[in-house]
Structure 1
Amino acid sequence: MQIYTKAFLSFSLLVGVSALSQETHKDSLKNNKLEEVVVTGQFEPQSIKKSVSNVRVITKQDIKNLAANNLSDVLNQYLNITVQNSGSDGRSKVSMFGLDSQYFKILVDNIPLVSDTGLGNNIDLTQVNLDDIERIEIIEGSMGVTHGANAVSGILNIITKKFTHTKWEIAANVQEETVGKEFAFFDKGRHIQSFKVSHSISENWFVSVGANRNDFAGFFDDKKGKDYTENDDKRGYRWLPKQQFVTNAMLGYTKDRFSIFYKFDYFNENVDYYNPIVVPVPNYPFESTYFSSDRRYVTNRFYHHLNSNGHLFTKLLYNVSLSFQKQQRDIERFNYYILSDEERNYEKNNFQSKEVIYSTGTVSNFFTNKMFDVQLGYELVNEKGFASAASGTFRDENLQLVDISKRLENYDIFTSAEINLNDKLSIRPGFRYSMQSQFEDQYATSLGFRYLLKKNIELRASIGKSYRTPNFDELYTYFVDSNHNLQGNAALTPEESFSYEVSAKKTSHFDSGLSLSNNVSASYQEVNDRISLIMTQIVPTMEYKYMNIDKYKMWNISTTHQLAYKNFSLKLGASLVGISQKIDLASLNAVSDDAFLYSLQLNSSATYNIPKWNTMFSIYYKYNGKYQQYVQSTVNTVASFELSEVDSYGWMDASVRKTFFKNKFEVTAGARNILNVTDVQSSISGGGNSAHAAASSALQLGYGRSYFLKFTYNLNFN
């Protein structure tokens, strides 16, 4: 009950402060139109120039040029972000600054999106559909004050569309895409269809409904598919077939200074795994039959979001959201009889589940003097679920299957202030206190600065402390048999991170119509007590356990440049990242090297619009330099750390987009992965011990050059 008592007292204090402050505030809504507005991490929508944080925006135009259907299609092209694809399970995860998807938070309209194993984290990028979005906003670095636990390396906020400029908007899309060289209309390639209708019922009411189907037929490569009967390891697919279905609906009401909307999304995914082992069944005197023990992974996600924002007591600005989300992953096991196309001996089990009640809210605009403002906020998280993707299921010490559904709760309050000392200098301090049900209470702090110089030069600096809480896998996994010993650790503590960032940006506009934007930034980050799955015993069996044992350090220098002249635009960027990680396996007398290892990324994009032809040409390129890290190794029962290297590679996409009939009809044609990246070599170099032979393997990053053709029909009328 202690957590509920502390939560009640804290929220009582929050409400009391709000009530006392309502007499000394000023309406902050302005009627002037902002050229480029951002909302992530802000008190209210405002231009990027006024934001204390560095906000990157991926526009709707970029998403159209890439013919992107999900986040994985988009993020391949952006600095400091690495998309990690896996053909073996059909998932794509994001990594930023060498920290995996547990440290990067993905939100939809400021609500963290649920996944099988996290809230906002561990998101499968292919499960995030982009049909309904207006833009994507990305902030790098610690965002623990405004977005809570696990916003360590950065956040990505998807802003969905909530209005229409006309009475009716109807859009339909059909997209056909090859998978490498493979394509057929029904059983090869990628086939996408979507449909959306938006309607302004009246001046105040807005409604929209939509649906999307994405059929990825898998990548054969040297495999022979599901109906192959030979036992030569050729049955199945190199990348698993996947079918996704998304439907969404939204109802919104806006009048004067009040707005409310309800949004619903349903997501369904089937991923099919076909076992390469084929079992022949004699059927004398008839022809033998064949079956294989296959399985199917079925994911269902329900997303509900109710939001209200506007004015409180005529002056205060408020924004409150309530969300219920559930995502569940089931595994269906069956024997597939190949010749008769039948599934028998069917068995279904749920092995990953997450159910979340979430609410967040803010109140701001307390004071009449716009040199100073305060934002007060809260966040409530109630998670119930379990997950064990690594072990397949949970077992107790007697190897019996157990249901260990757990509930994790946190109740947070946070506050930020915006201090505008003059037109040039702004300071933004912030603090969050989090009351945890499973762990000791946590806190996050931040301090940001923005200074505007002459000639459109913007200087920014920030420092922040954040934290990451352990997930269900790390806390509760327990899987032990004669070959495996993999254990969670309920005694784990949250990780602690510190980040520092400085940046300078200059924007120039010339009479000729030329515009230039140049940005350079540097950052440093530390993560202490980082959780790692480490080897705790070698003999008589290898044992692995999650422990707070890792120390991580990172520094980064990035620069981006944009040029726009008439119908042409060009973007160039570069990033150099140095990462140091130290793991001390005291029980095995092994300590990793903590030297900094460096990786370079370059990116560029160019677009050229020919208005006379209603045609846009686009090309995107990203270079990912060689990546290194130390990994655990054992030779002759002796533990050590060896340097692992992943070779460099480049990723290029290009498209041509043309509109017809007064923009009612649109055709986009292009290619992904033009450089034909498939597998990238990964190696572990041998050390001084001659017993260490250099080992190498291939990482699946793509399935080769692919081509797409997209048709869009837009019908807008009053």
Structure 2
Amino acid sequence: MKKGIFIAAAVIFSNQLHAQKDTTSKTLDEVIVTANKFPQKVSETGKVVTIITQDQLQKSYGKSLGEVLNQQPGLNINGADNNLGTNQTVYTRGASSANTLIMLDGVPLYDASGISNEFDLNNFALDNIERIEILKGSQSTLYGSDAVAGVINIISKKGEKKPFNLNTDLSAGSYNTYKGGLSISGTNSKGQTYFISYNKIYSKGFSSAYDSTGKRNFDKDGFNQDVIQVNYTFKPIKNTSVRLFGKYNNNHADIDAGAFADDKDYTYHNSNTIAGASVDYKIKTGFIKLQYSYNRFNRNFIDDSTDVGGFSTYQNGRYNGTSNFAEAYANLNLTKHIELLAGVDYRENKTDQLYIYLPDYGFPSLPISGDSAHTNQISGYASLFLKSANGFNLDFGGRWNQHNIYGNNLTYSVNPFFVINNHYKIYANVSSGYRVPSLYQLYSEFGNKDLKPELTTSYEAGVQYYTGNINARATAFIRNGKDIFLFYTDPTTFASRYINGDVQHDYGIETEATIHFTKAFSVALNYTYVDGKITTKEFPGKDTSFFNLYKRPKNILNLFLNYSVTKSLYLSTHLKTVSTAYEPQYMAAPYQLNAYYTLDFFGRFKFNNKYSLFADLQNITDQKYFVTRGFTTKGFNVNGGVQIRL
């Protein structure tokens, strides 16, 4: 990307911030549930929340969940621009992976078999999502470990008002990619709601590894996915609602040996099962909620060595992980101006892993058993909300954690904010975060049972402005951490393991704004700047302080032009500019990932409320760029299809 393009985009941003609003934002009266675990208006919380509505999701057909999130302020989804099936790594405000908690309907999701416990966004079908709420800043007080940089709450579809609804989506596009979804849903006279869906993706894809010569005939790496999701809600007695839910995901993909390295026989298979139940009981002064979920991953990586693409002649990795989560909490309106939230939750993770690598060069990988590789944690938390008639509000709380390895820990949050004339909101947050090592970081061949938990303190302050056609928000943030998890290789013995670093200091700003010039035409823009460094003595030959936000560009800007030409025809253009980033290299200086831009176009034509056509054109100028060195990103690609609502 030329410097002039990025500078011009920045000038547009600085000149028009006062007259724009983020397309994901709504008015201060928009109702959210993630900020404090109960329904409340945006004006009633001082936390930074971005909302992706159902209307916006319908205008994003053809995209993956990772691609939708990658357009939001403060988020960078590494892998969203690569081949389908590529692991999606979420960076929120520059924080390292696994510092963002992914939730489904308020239930935390983990992959206990993974390196850092993070849940892969590939396991969601966009068709099954009603809305998304993104909560930024440290949320460990309400949501526990892993919510250090923020929370992404995926709110699923539950059932529509009519007794029976049939929805289907069919599309086809570049790289021989075909997507389809079918769902039935409804509500009967007794108030019972149901939602049942099946989604399918098949793609021949392209080579995940980049062929730098263009002459080595790298094979295409395909992706095949099946997703089944169910929600059923009923009311057994007065004031009581029970929801049963389940989701099954099955992925199969071809993968390559590594950067610039093809492998024609390397595949992975991943299945994920989620099941659970929740009970909501209304009382005179609020409600009580109980919920439980079971989450299991089975992952298998195998290279049968017909084609030797890397250093080994045979690889077979089997990774199984199980998570259990149970929670009970109550929301109570103590007075007109005082509200209380209090609860307790229990989390349990365990994993079984077996990795065979031949030849092993004298470093065999030992199996991990769930009998030894397991953790559990019980927590109690409470938050108090003080609301005054003059617009001043205060939200503060604390959390106590009891971990089977790390013992007791306390976190806190303090969030004062002030609403003026329902047009301005001024807010500040001070909060602490707590993240324990994953099972892999503790028990694998690179594990270190002496690891300490990461501890962080976060600060943010900002202002939001809203009128009838303008919504703008600017937030500055600082995040200080200690005992940060690092992967360290001894330069003498070449032995590798996880260690604790010393101090991490990150900071930045995020701004978002939209202006509706008319009912039909709007312009939206968001810009995020992040920077940071680590101070440590663990790396001989390096300075004690150095930049380490690898794969995280300092500057990301998104610009949208949205135009409803008629009631039937909607058009949207999206420009994204991304500055230089860096990727760590083994025993070498970091590799520079060059700046780039992409230009996308989306169009939808609705014949009526039942039938519509859409087309999604991405990277129209066919830019060549890397978000991970040696792995191909999508060039110009097209996806189009039909939506049917009966």
| % identity of equivalent residues | 19
> 1:624 aligns to what?
578
8 Å contact 1:358–1:380 — kept in the other structure? yes
Deviation of 1:216 after TM superposition, in Å, equals: 1.9
Letter in 1 for 2:480: E
Match of 1:281 in 2: none
Query: Could you tell me how far 1:424 is from its partner in structure 2?
Result: 0.4
**Divergent runs of 4+, >6 A:** 221-224, 395-398, 595-598, 629-632
SS of residue paired to 1:62: helix
Q: Aligned residue for 1:318?
A: 288
Instruction: Name the SS of the counterpart of 1:441 in structure 2.
Output: strand
Which amino acid letter does the alignment assign opposite residue 243 of structure 1? N
Question: Which amino acid in the other structure matches residue 349 of structure 2?
Answer: E
For residue 160 of structure 1, the aligned residue among 151, 156, 163 is: 156
- Counterpart of 1:402? 367
CA distance in 1 between counterparts of 2:64 and 2:209 reads 27
Give the whole-Å Cα distance in 2 for the aligned partners of 1:387 and 1:471: 13
CA contact (8 A) 1:354 1:385 kept: yes
Change (3 A) 1:201 1:418: same
- 1:305/1:678 CA distance change after superposition, 3 Å: farther
Mark the CA change 1:52 to 1:616 in structure 2 (over 3 Å): closer, same or farther.
same
The separation in 1 between residues aligned to 2:28 and 2:187, in whole angstroms, is 23
- Give 1:244-393 correspondences, 5 Å limit: 244-254=225-235, 257-273=239-255, 294-312=265-283, 314-334=284-304, 351-367=318-334, 369-386=335-352
Q: Specify whether residues 261 and 620 from structure 1 end up closer, same or farther in structure 2 by C-alpha distance, changes over 3 A only.
A: same
Displacement, 1:681? 8.6
Instruction: Quote the offset at 1:669 in angstroms.
Output: 0.9
**Structure 1 residue aligned with 2:615, among 659, 669, 689?**
669
| Aligned match of 2:555 | 600
Instruction: Tell me the distance in 1 between the aligned counterparts of 2:554 and 2:208.
Output: 30
Task: Tell me the residue number matched to 1:206.
Answer: 193
What secondary structure sits across from 1:145 in the alignment? helix
Q: Give the drift of 1:204.
A: 1.3
Offset of 1:604 from its aligned partner? 1.5
CA contact (8 A) 2:614 2:641 kept: yes
Q: Which residue number corresponds to residue 4 of structure 2?
A: none
Match 2:442 to one of 467, 475, 479: 475
- Is the partner of 2:441 in helix, strand or coil? helix
| Number of equivalences | 598
In structure 2, relative to structure 1, the CA distance for the partners of 1:427 and 1:626 (3 Å cut) is same
Match of 1:105 among 101, 107, 127: 101
Q: Tell me, in whole angstroms, the C-alpha distance in 2 between the residues paired with 1:676 and 1:622.
A: 13
Q: 2:219 aligns with which of 224, 232, 236?
A: 236
Instruction: Give the superposition deviation at 1:259.
Output: 1.5
Once residues 209 and 531 of structure 2 are traced to their aligned partners in structure 1, the CA distance between those partners, rounded to angstroms, is: 38
CA-based RMSD: 3.1
Does the 8 A contact of 2:379 with 2:401 survive in 1?
yes
Matched, 1:703 2:631: no
Partners in 2 of 1:633 and 1:123 — Cα distance? 30
- For 2:459, the equivalent position in structure 1 comes to 500
Q: 1:422, CA displacement in angstroms?
A: 3.1
- Structure 1 CA distance, aligned partners of 2:601 and 2:194? 35
Change (3 A) 1:419 1:272: same
- Give unpaired runs (5+ residues) of structure 1: 1-32, 180-188, 225-231, 277-291, 338-346, 479-486, 510-514, 635-641, 683-697
Amino acid at match of 1:58: I
TM-score (norm 1): 0.77
Q: Which has the higher contact order (CA 8 A, sep 6+)?
A: 2
Which stretch shifts more, 591-600 or 461-470? Answer: 591-600
Mapped partners of 1:333, 1:383: distance in 2: 28
The question of whether the paired residues in 1 share the 8 Å contact of 2:423 and 2:467 is answered with yes
* Aligned: 1:552 with 2:504: yes
Cα deviation 1:452-492 (Å, max 9, x = unaligned): 123611111111001111112211221xxxxxxxx210110
Three-state SS of the structure 2 residue aligned to 1:44 is: coil
Q: Provide the C-alpha distance between the structure 1 equivalents of 2:115 and 2:519, rounded to a whole number of angstroms.
A: 43
Shift, 1:399, TM fit: 3.7
**TM-score w.r.t. length of structure 2:** 0.85
Aligned to 1:436: 403
**Aligned-residue offset at 1:667:** 0.5
- Give, as a single letter, the amino acid of the residue that structure 1 aligns with 2:457: F
Alignment of 1:99-248 (within 5 A): 99-115=95-111, 117=113, 121-179=117-175, 189-220=176-207, 233-237=216-220, 240-248=221-229
Residue type at the aligned position of 2:612: E
Deviation at 1:530, TM superposition (A): 0.3
* 1:434, distance to aligned residue in structure 2 (A): 0.7
CA contact (8 A) 2:482 2:504 kept: yes
The alpha-carbon deviation at position 218 of structure 1 amounts to: 1.8
Name the counterpart of 1:74.
68
For 1:473 and 1:596, locate their aligned partners in 2 and report how far apart those are by CA, in whole Å.
22
Q: Is the 8 A contact 2:209 2:631 kept in 1?
A: no
TM-superposed CA distance for 1:331, in Å, is: 3.0
Question: After the TM superposition, which of the residue ranges 663-672 and 410-419 deviates more from structure 2?
Answer: 663-672
Q: Distance in 2 between matches of 1:315 and 1:455?
A: 26
- Alpha-carbon distance between aligned partners in 2 of 1:88 and 1:207, rounded to the nearest angstrom: 30
Displacement after TM superposition at 1:117 (Å): 3.5
1:296 CA drift (Å): 2.6
**Distance change (3 Å), C-alpha of 1:66 and 1:677:** farther
Question: In the alignment, which residue of structure 2 is the partner of 1:581?
Answer: 534
Q: 1:117/1:153 Cα in 2 relative to 1: closer, same or farther (>3 Å)?
A: farther
Q: Distance in 2 between matches of 1:210 and 1:550?
A: 47
Q: Does structure 2 retain, via aligned residues, the 8 Å contact 1:386–1:472?
A: no
Counterpart of 1:713 in structure 2: which amino acid?
Answer: I
Equivalent residue, structure 2, for 1:94: 90
| Residue 530 (1) aligns with residue 477 (2) | no
Q: Deviations over 1:153-183 (max 9, x none)?
A: 111001112231222110011111103xxxx
For structure 2, list consecutive stretches of 5 or more residues without a partner in the other structure: 1-26, 308-313
1:700 counterpart letter in structure 2: F
Task: Give, as a single letter, the amino acid of the residue that structure 2 aligns with 1:305.
Answer: G
Deviation of residue 235 (structure 1)?
4.7
Distance 1:469 1:396, change over 3 A: farther
How many Å separate the matches in 1 of 2:281 and 2:84?
47
Structure 1 counterpart of 2:645, one-letter code: N
SS for the counterpart of 1:131 is helix
